[in-house]
Amino acid sequence: MARWVGEHADDLADVIVAETGKARDDAVIAELGYTLQALAFWARRAPGWLADERVRWAGPALVGRRLSVRHVPLGLVGVIAPWNYPLANALGDVIPALTAGNAVLLKPSEHTPRTARLAADGLRACGLPDGVLEVVTGAGEAGAAVVDAVDMVMFTGSTATGRAVAERAGRRLIPASLELGGKDPMLVLADADLERAANTAVYYAMQNAGQTCLSIERVLVEDAVHDRFAALVAERVAALRTGRPGGLGAVDVGGLSAPGQIEIVEAHVADAVAQGAAVMCGGHRITGPGDLYAPTVLTSVTPAMRCMREETFGPLLPIMRVADVDEAVAVANDSPYGLAASVFTRSARRGEAVAARLEAGSVAVNDAMVFFAALDLPMGGWKDSGVGSRHGIGGIRKYTRAQSVVAASRLPRRDLHTYPYRAWRTRLLLSALRRLSAPRRGRPRLAAPGRRSPGR
C-alpha cells in the first residue's frame, strides 16, 4: 500500500485539494507524508505489539502454571473521520484497526467522501479482501448507523458530536475512542529564541488554514518580549500568500474547507475587535471564489474573548501579553480543552518543567505539532478534548480485546486450597502468603495501626 500511495501521489493530492481547498503542499506534506509514515510504522511495530505476552506468576496459587495475554481482534471497527484531513485521519485510524485483525466501516465526512473511496480502492488493489473495508458515505445519520453496527468506534471531530457518539456507544456498551476539539496554547517565555518561536507560531497556526486539531490557537507571551514577538509574527503572517490552490508552491494558505467555517472565523474576529483587540494584519475575507480568509493576527486580547476560549479552526492567531510564566500557565489551563500545547524557552529543562504544569495530552518544547509524527508516543486529549489515544502501543491494542490465559500440563489431582477445607492447610497457605508478601530486607516496614513507625 505504501508503494501504491507513492505511485498515485498526484491522483490522491488532486482529490484532496479538490475536496478541501487546501494548499497542495499541505496535501503532500501533511496527508501523503503522514500516510506513508503510518503504513511503514504499523507494519514494523504491529507484530511485536500484537504478539502473545508471557507474564511471570505472582503467587503460590499459580505455581506450575503458564500465564499469558492474547490480543484478540474486536471484530468490526467503525472509523468516523473528519473533513480537515480526509486521507491522513481516515487511513491513520483504518491502518492499525485492519492490522489488528478487524474489518472496518469507514465513514468519511460528507464533505470529503472521494478521498476515502480512492484510498479504499488502493487497499483493495493491493490485495485487501472484499468486504474487509467498506466506505459508508452520508451525514450524521450515516455516522449514527455506523455506531449502531460496529464493535468499537474511533471518532475524530467536534466535542459536541463526540459526546453524542460516546452516549450512543455507551448504550451498546462498546468502546469509543474520541479525539475532539482543542484550543491549543503556545507559551513564549522571556528567554525564548524569538525567531524560532515566531516562525513556529506562524506555520503551525496557519498551516492547513488553521484547520488542524493541533493548530496553535492562542499564544501567551511574557511581557518583556511580547512586542518584539508580536511584530515578528505579524510581519511573517502578512507575507503569506493566500488563494485557491494551484501547483506545489503556488500558495501558502488555502481556503476554509467546510461550509460555515469562515463565518466562525469572522465572528471570533468581530467579537475580539468589539472588546478592544487590535488587528495587526488580516481581519477580512478575500474576495473571489472559495472561502478565503486573510491570515490574521490579533493583539490586546483577553481570556474572555471568544477567540481565546472557543475553537476557531481557521487562520487566526490571538497573542496575549502575560506578566510571567505563572500567569501563562494559569491562562493556558483555564480552558475546557486539553489536546496539545507548546512551550518556548532556551532551557529545555525549564521547558519540560513548565510542560509538566500544563493540562494537555501532548506538549512540545521549542516545537509544535511534531508529536503527531512521533508515532511511538500516545496522542490523545485531556478534559473535553477526548477519551483514549491514537499512536503508540495503545493506538493498536485499543482495537483488540485482552484475553488472559492460565495454562498448565502437570498439576496435582487436588490443589491445596480446594475442598475439603482443613485447618492445617489453610494455616499453611496463610503462612506462605505472609512470607511471600513480607517486605524485603532493608525496606521500611509499615507501622501497626495506632503506633509510630520505628526509626531507621
Q: What is the DSSP string of 218-283?
A: EEEEEHHHHHHHHHHHHHHHHT--BSS--STTS-SB----STTHHHHHHHHHHHHHHTT-EEEE--
Q: With residue 54 as reference, give the H or E element that holds it.
A: strand 53-55
- The mean pLDDT value for 215-221 works out to 98
> Dihedrals φ, ψ of 91, to 5°?
-70, -30
Interval 146-173: pLDDT, tens: 999 999 999 999 999 999 999 999 999 9
Give me the count of residues in the chain: 456
Q: Based on the residue annotation, tell me whether 213 is a catalytic residue of this protein.
A: yes
Average pLDDT, the chain: 94
Q: Compute the distance between CA of residue 329 and CA of residue 327 in angstroms, rounded to an integer.
A: 5
The model's confidence at residue 440, banded by pLDDT at 50, 70 and 90, is confident
Q: Is the pLDDT reported for residue 400 higher than 50?
A: yes
pLDDT on residue 452: 47
Give mean pLDDT, residues 397-426. Answer: 93
| pLDDT given at position 288 | 80
Domain boundaries, the chain: 2-180+391-402, 185-374
Per-residue pLDDT, averaged over 265-271, amounts to 98
Cα 109 from chain centre: 18
Instruction: Please check the confidence at residue 449 and state whether its pLDDT lies above 70.
Output: no
Span 22-34, mean pLDDT? Answer: 97
339 has which bridge partners? none
Cα–Cα distance, 224 to 96 (Å, whole number): 46
Question: Domain 185-374 maps to which CATH number in 3.30.2270.10, 3.90.550.10, 1.10.4160.10, 3.40.309.10?
Answer: 3.40.309.10
**Which of 23-32, 61-70, 200-209 shows the lowest per-residue confidence on average (mean pLDDT)?**
61-70
Give the SS3 label for residue 328: helix
Q: Summarize the confidence of residues 267-293 as an average pLDDT.
A: 95
* The predicted structure's pLDDT at residue 397: 98
pLDDT of amino acid 351: 98
Question: 496463610: which residue's cell?
Answer: 430
Q: Per-residue pLDDT averaged across 256-268, rounded? A: 96
> Taking 90 as the threshold, does the pLDDT of residue 434 lie above it?
no
Q: Environment class of residue 110 by beta-carbon count within 10 Å: exposed (0-12), middle (13-18) or buried (19+)?
A: middle
Reported as a pLDDT band with limits 50, 70 and 90, residue 377 is very high
Helix, coil or strand: residue 79: strand
Give buried/exposed letters for 427-441 (b at 16+ CB in 10 A, else e).
eeeeeeeeeeeeeee
DSSP β-ladder status, 176-179 and 386-387: antiparallel
Sequence-ordered list of residues with C-beta below 8 angstroms from that of 258, at least 6 positions apart, any chain: 83, 84, 109, 111
% of the chain beyond a pLDDT of 90: 88
Do the Cβ atoms of 302 and 275 come closer than 8 Å?
yes
- Does residue 330 have a pLDDT over 70? yes
Contact at 8 Å (CB) between 287 and 311? no
Q: What is the DSSP letter of 370?
A: G
Q: What is the CA radius of gyration of the chain?
A: 27
Give the span between the Cα atoms of 340 and 386, in whole angstroms.
11
pLDDT for 58 equals 65
Please tell me whether the peptide bond between 420 and the residue prior to it is cis, using omega within 30 degrees of 0.
yes
pLDDT value at residue 429: 87
The closest of 36, 348, 30, 13 to 213, measured between CA atoms, is 30
The predicted model gives 214-229 an average pLDDT of: 98
- Give per-residue pLDDT as tens, 106-119: 999 999 999 999 99
Residue type, 126: C
pLDDT at 375: 97
Give Cα 422 to chain centroid, integer Å: 56
- Check: CB of residue 106 under 8 Å from CB of residue 134: yes
CB under 8 Å to 213, separation ≥6 — which residues?
A: 84, 156, 179, 180, 181, 182, 339, 340
Instruction: Assess whether pLDDT exceeds 50 at residue 242.
Output: yes
* Cα distance from N-terminal residue to C-terminal residue, the chain: 63
Could you give the CA distance from residue 456 to residue 453 in angstroms, rounded to a whole number?
A: 9
Q: Is 179 a catalytic residue?
A: yes
Strands (E), 100-158: 103-107, 133-135, 152-156
Rounded to whole angstroms, how far apart are CA atoms 271 and 199?
A: 27
Quick check: do 2-180+391-402 and 185-374 share a fold? Answer: no
Given 19, 31, 213, 217, the catalytic residue: 213
Residues 47-75 have a mean pLDDT of: 89
The pLDDT of residue 456: 34
- Choose the catalytic residue: 7, 19, 141, 179: 179
* pLDDT of res. 252: 97
Contact 366, 12 (CB under 8 A): no
The third-level CATH classification (topology) of the domain covering 2-180+391-402 is Aldehyde Dehydrogenase; Chain A, domain 1 (3.40.605)
Residue 255 has pLDDT above 70, yes or no: yes
Residue 49 has pLDDT above 50, yes or no: yes
Among residues of the chain, what percentage have pLDDT more than 70?
Answer: 96
221 against 455, higher pLDDT: 221
Q: Residue 451: pLDDT above 80? A: no
Q: Which three cell numbers stand for residue 204?
A: 503551525
